[in-house]
A and B are shown apart, each in its own frame.
Chain A
Amino acid sequence: MADLRCDIAGVKSPNPFWLASAPPTDKEYNVVRAFKAGWGGVVWKTLGEDPPIVNVSSRYGAMSYNGTRMAGFNNIELITDRPLDVNLQEIKQVKRDWPDRAMVVSLMVPCEEENWRNILKRVEETEADAVELNFGCPHGMSERGMGSAVGQVPEYIEMVTRWCKTHTRMPVFVKLTPNVTNVLSPARAAKAGGADAVSLINTINSIMSVDLDIMAPTPTVGGKGSHGGYCGPAVKPIAMHMVAEIARDKETAGLPISGIGGIGNWRDAAEFMSLGAGSVQVCTAAMHKGFKIVEDMIDGLAYWMDEKGHQTLDDFRGAAVPNVTDWQYLDLNFETVARIDQDLCIQCGLCHIACEDTSHQAIAAQRDNGARRYEVIDAECVGCNLCQHVCPVEGCISMVEVENGKEYMNWTQDPRNPMNQKAAE
């Protein structure tokens, strides 16, 4: 069986599956249940200075899609609303009781060196493995100059990270907000400040839905709503892009990454790790189905690794990074066309209407003695894949490579590129 042991920035855990800093890690009771269920680590829900913040009711919004609940999810909850002492005592107790699990403590205090120094000292006393700087929370705290208000300014990130590295022996994870134009700026800043790792993504600014009866956004608090942090399965592609950008950037390559965003099963985790994530953090999926989902994550990942011959996580970590490239380096001479397997086709016609109405008029709708038949017109097909995506039958439409005998040629080499013509002149 594959070895799932994880070591990221010196923080060790029996598996790479951690619970993200969020309601599931707010107190001892939940965290102990998580560890009993098999989770490899937790990032304790963000601690702040006393007096504790207060929360509103209600706090969550969700998007259902075609009967699937919580395809997207958001929250307007703030950091922990419990006294600092209580949290620290519980963290210390849980770490003592579960020494093999990763215990990372999320922190958010005002942007003054003294404040950070004080809280770091207190966290160290708990024997926690690391701290995670919450520079990502997009609501409530940001309006008080914390959370994403810091995370959106690279200079602040670098400054606070450096303070933390100065004042603690613990590894420092910097949690990044996706609410920026380019995630590399804050990631580079974190690295410059000495960060041992980055965690991403935090939640995305969002309005989940509008209640059209009361004309207010959801979740609604006394007739009003506020933007909240978006997460869940729907954000996974955004998160993976940001992880990959950091993994392949010259400046940040090699900086350990704890991947977050829509991870709900072993496959999601394997994808994040292939893009360079060392550990992964989960929240929405656990809030939806409970902690037991980690069982599938653990054995699903191990079985897949066995099948692929990977013995440790390092065997495939970052393996997909070299294949993430810029558009301009894609092979313009690579061609595919769609093929419809007529034996599998159920005659729904979706490939035809999608291509006819919105693409290249490359799928003909025919009637053969009254029976519907959909055929690809090779000469018109540009290999865009739309038909394959709309087809409801697995394996019915495949994209077949066309052997055109042409050599690899990318945009930088293409004579049709006006920049190349200029250079030639």
Chain B
Amino acid sequence: MDNQPDIAAGRLPESAYAENFGDVHPPLDRKAALVESSRCYFCYDAPCIEACPTGIDIPSFIRKISTDNVRGAAQDILQENIMGGACARVCPTEVLCQEACVRNTQEHKPVQIGLLQRYATDAVMEAESHPFTRAEPSGKTVAVVGAGPAGLSCAHRLAMLGHDVVVFDAKAKAGGLNEYGIAAYKVPDDFAHREVDFILEIGGIEIRHDQALGKDIALAELRRDYDAVFLGMGLGGVRALNLEGEDLPGVHNAVDYIAELRQSDDLRSLPVGRKIVVIGGGNTAIDIAVQTKRLGAEDVTLVYRRGPEAMSATHHEQEFAQVNGVKIKHWAQPRQLRGAHGRISDVVFEYTQLDENGRLAGTGDAFSLPADMVFKAIGQAMLPLPQANGASDLLEMDGERIAVNEQRQTSLPDVWAGGDCVKISQDLTVAAVQDGKLAAQSIDSFLRG
């Protein structure tokens, strides 16, 4: 009986789902925003601006909030980061702008920049008119691959600059990870979809769905048919553990389950195990661990092979998981996934440590964790590369990802790339937005050359 999997839907009373998957950080109302904005010192050469990958003039937008100039505030944000609304919700501000806030030095309590950014962008997204207009038509058309943060940011900036854009996306919905990959409680109320609609209001952007690069479209064709190409298709693949038992039923890719959860109309119908094991140390690992817990899983254990400081999930995210009842075990790596009755039953881990050369090594001691479901979240990888599909020239790579210069231009003069599929990106929504913006500016110079 012990090894019978316990997987069930509807573990919680109906009302719990709305609460568990509603807004994790409720928005500021006007009064709270005025008080919080008054805490900003309006620093000269403000460190927060430098810490923002998109370089938003944070003191300026906060000052505008403090004078009820919310439109001006949103304009400051969105002109540097058209997905300022998403970033206000999903950015790890604790390691970006808010870490740089001088109030940390003074009182360990930064200005709540993320929440203020959301206050301003929410107000403008609810307004009727789009805050930007397009330049005179250039007569040029650019192909953008991927309707995630990088692609949409690039498309929006190109449209502003007067170019027409056709966006090709492999999925049925635009938004990329904001739509399919980020924890539901960070972007509730169909926010990702609403943001896409907001971005498209500028005009001149056409999105074609179910168009995967290398399958339905080829880079060579795009280069032939369009004046320039931007690649922002993210990382379509998932890393494997390469361990015995990995294909047992009950072993899932975290990103697949999160996508299913995000697209579900009724979270009560989503089956979840009683005992969950998550393998990995990034935001996806945290997101799957917390979301399964919030779906009603009883024991969720996240296992990471190194210590807390090496996790790519921030300290704040780790603490959030722990507050949600997720147990985090450090210094252990999976060795075997064992089955019973044709399903996963437990995972064998080996303790790890750093050897004298500072390399990770197993100690030889092992333990096992029972699991009804196992989620792999050890990172994503590039799908096989587009040039296999008819590109005449080779796209230069940097390791597994596409090599680009500062302007996000690839080795092909008419092809730019950004977001998770390029090497220099930080795997953050905000970094992807910056890539798209920089690429669009470079493409514009190229087209007007």
Chain A nearest CB, measured from B49 CB (Å)? 11
Chain A nearest CB, measured from B60 CB (Å)? 13
CB-based contact B66/A66 at 8 Å = yes
- Could you jot down 12 A-B contacts, CB within 8 Å? A66-B38, A67-B35, A347-B102, A348-B102, A349-B45, A350-B41, A350-B42, A353-B44, A365-B44, A372-B47, A392-B41, A392-B106
CB-based contact A349/B44 at 8 Å = yes
| Residues on the A chain within 8 Å of B392, using CB | none
Chain A nearest CB, measured from B347 CB (Å)? 44
Bound form: Cα–Cα A353–B42 in Å: 11
Chain B 38-62: CB-based contact to A (< 8 A → 1; otherwise 0) = 1001111111000000000000000
Taking residues whose C-beta sits less than 8 angstroms from the other chain, chain B's interface range is 10 to 19
Which chain A residues numbered 352 to 403 have a C-beta less than 8 Å away from chain B? 352-353, 365, 372, 392-393
| Residues on the A chain within 8 Å of B46, using CB | 349
Closest to A391 in B: B41
Bound form: Cα–Cα A346–B101 in Å: 9
Known: A66-B66, A372-B47, A393-B106. A348 touches B35 (CB 8 A): no
| Residues on the B chain within 8 Å of A393, using CB | 106
Known: A66-B66, A392-B106, A393-B106. A348 touches B34 (CB 8 A): no
> Taking each of A67, A348, A353, which has the highest tally of chain B beta carbons within 10 Å of its own beta carbon?
A348
Closest A-B pairs by Cβ, 9 of them? A349-B44, A353-B44, A66-B38, A346-B105, A346-B102, A348-B43, A67-B35, A348-B102, A348-B41
Closest to B41 in A: A348
Chain A 55-71: CB-based contact to B (< 8 A → 1; otherwise 0) = 00000000000110000
| Residues on the B chain within 8 Å of A67, using CB | 34-35, 38
Chain A nearest CB, measured from B235 CB (Å)? 31
Closest to B34 in A: A67
| Residues on the B chain within 8 Å of A350, using CB | 41-44
Q: Please report B residues at the A interface, Cβ cutoff 8 Å.
A: 34-35, 38, 41-47, 66, 102-103, 105-106
| Residues on the A chain within 8 Å of B47, using CB | 347, 372
Bound form: Cα–Cα A350–B59 in Å: 12
Chain A 150-168: CB-based contact to B (< 8 A → 1; otherwise 0) = 0000000000000000000
Closest to A356 in B: B44
Chain A nearest CB, measured from B160 CB (Å)? 31
Closest to B103 in A: A346
Chain A nearest CB, measured from B108 CB (Å)? 11
Contact among A347, A349, A353, A365 for B105, CB-based, below 8 A: A347
Chain A 408-420: CB-based contact to B (< 8 A → 1; otherwise 0) = 0000000000000
| Residues on the A chain within 8 Å of B43, using CB | 347-350
Closest to A66 in B: B38
Chain B nearest CB, measured from A245 CB (Å)? 35
| Residues on the B chain within 8 Å of A353, using CB | 44
| Residues on the B chain within 8 Å of A392, using CB | 41, 106
| Residues on the B chain within 8 Å of A349, using CB | 43-46
Closest to B100 in A: A347
| Residues on the A chain within 8 Å of B35, using CB | 67
Chain A nearest CB, measured from B115 CB (Å)? 16
> Taking each of A66, A346, A350, A353, which has the highest tally of chain B beta carbons within 10 Å of its own beta carbon?
A346
| Residues on the A chain within 8 Å of B66, using CB | 66
CB-based contact A365/B45 at 8 Å = yes
Which chain A residues numbered 32 to 74 have a C-beta less than 8 Å away from chain B? 66-67
Closest to A393 in B: B106
| Residues on the A chain within 8 Å of B106, using CB | 346, 392-393
Chain A 316-348: CB-based contact to B (< 8 A → 1; otherwise 0) = 000000000000000000000000000000111
> Taking each of B43, B44, B106, which has the highest tally of chain A beta carbons within 10 Å of its own beta carbon?
B44
| Residues on the A chain within 8 Å of B105, using CB | 346-347
Bound form: Cα–Cα A353–B59 in Å: 14
